[in-house]
Each structure stands twice: as structure tokens, then as C-alpha cells.
Amino acid sequence: MATKSPNWQKLREQLKSSWQKIISPKGKSILFVCLANICRSPLAEALLREKIKQAHFSQSIKVDSASIENWRNGDKADSRVIQLLKEHQIPYQGLKSRLLKPMDAKRFDLIICMDTTIYDATRERLGESYFSKIVPFSHFLEDQADVDDPMLTKDFQTTYQQIDRGTDKIIHYLQNNIMNQSANDSKMQ
């Protein structure tokens, strides 16, 4: 049974506080999900990993990606994605498609879906008890609901820019909350 697509503006408001609770400063895992896990989600995974590395977080934050379809399971990221990552000097080794698994709902603190269809399918597959962990990537983009699928648009650069902006917002949130948590921990000692 398909779930109804959300009203994105209303969802952003509802998730504003809930996603902040999900990625607590001690929360350590983020999963990106797209259709085949060869373009958008591995691009988001690689970008966020690099930004986490550059931010020098004291806590370890795990980042991974998965697909909702099994078409390309085990395949490397699309060659055009790898080329973009090379151009921006972002490590791309180890990006390999895998299918979203039920245990991912327990393993990850936050599951970020790249578009409406993926959001609906992920919620359906993982179940209602995990809805609070599943958010659309659009939550991190002010200007649109979905991250463009470059397999359809053939515009990998625009997709890169969208994901780059969204991962900047994720890093900004993590930096602010990890610093706040560190300050609170110091006061308690």
C-alpha cells in the first residue's frame, strides 16, 4: 500500500524539531537513500563524509547509502558521479550500490531520502515505528522538494550543487549541536 506524498512545507515544519532530536550530538549515523544507489545517494554519502572529515568532529559519524531497488546491487557509483567527485577532489573509493535492508532502520539515526518517491517507498519498507527517522533531503533545501535524478535530467552538475548545499546544512547543524553538547558536558564536570 503506497503512502500519501506529504505536503513538503508542512513536513519541513514538523521535522524541524524532530530531526534535531534524531541526530543528537551523540548520534552517529546517517543513511542516504535513492532509487539505484549509483548517483544521488552515493554522491551525498561521499560529500558528507568529506565535510565531516574537514570539520574535525571529535565524535565518529557513520555515513552510508542504499537503494530501494535491486537493479544495480553491487555496482560502483555511476562513472559521471565519480568524475564529478574527482573534479572536486572528493574521495570516491568504496561507493558501491546496496539495497536498503530492514535492519538499516535500527542501525541509522537518520535516513535521508533523495525524492518523494524514495521517501514514500522507504517509509513503507521500514514501517511506521521508524517514520521519525526518515526525512526527505528537501528538508535541507529551501528551494525545492526533490533532488534531481541525473539519470533522467542528464545534468549531473545541478544534482551535485543541490546535494552540496544540503550537506552544508547538515554539517552546520552538526557543528552547532556538537559544540553546544561539548559546552554542556564541560559545565556538568
Q: Rounded distance, CA 166 to CA 47, Å? A: 10
Give every CB contact of residue 168 below 8 A, 6+ residues apart in sequence.
51
The beta-carbon contacts of 15-24 under 8 Å, at least 24 apart in sequence, are 15/135, 15/139, 18/132, 19/110, 19/135, 19/139, 20/173, 20/177, 22/109, 22/110, 22/132, 22/133, 22/135, 23/109, 23/110, 23/173, 23/174, 23/177, 24/109, 24/177, 24/181
Catalytic residue among 104, 109, 148, 149: 149
**Starting from the edge strand earliest in sequence, which strands make up the sheet with 110-113, in order?**
62-67, 29-34, 110-113, 134-136
Tell me if residue 111 falls in helix, strand or coil.
Answer: strand
Does residue 78 have an active-site annotation? no
Does residue 113 have an active-site annotation? no
Catalytic residue among 34, 104, 123, 146: 34
Does residue 40 have an active-site annotation? yes
Catalytic residue among 40, 72, 80, 123: 40
Catalytic (active-site) positions: 34, 40, 149
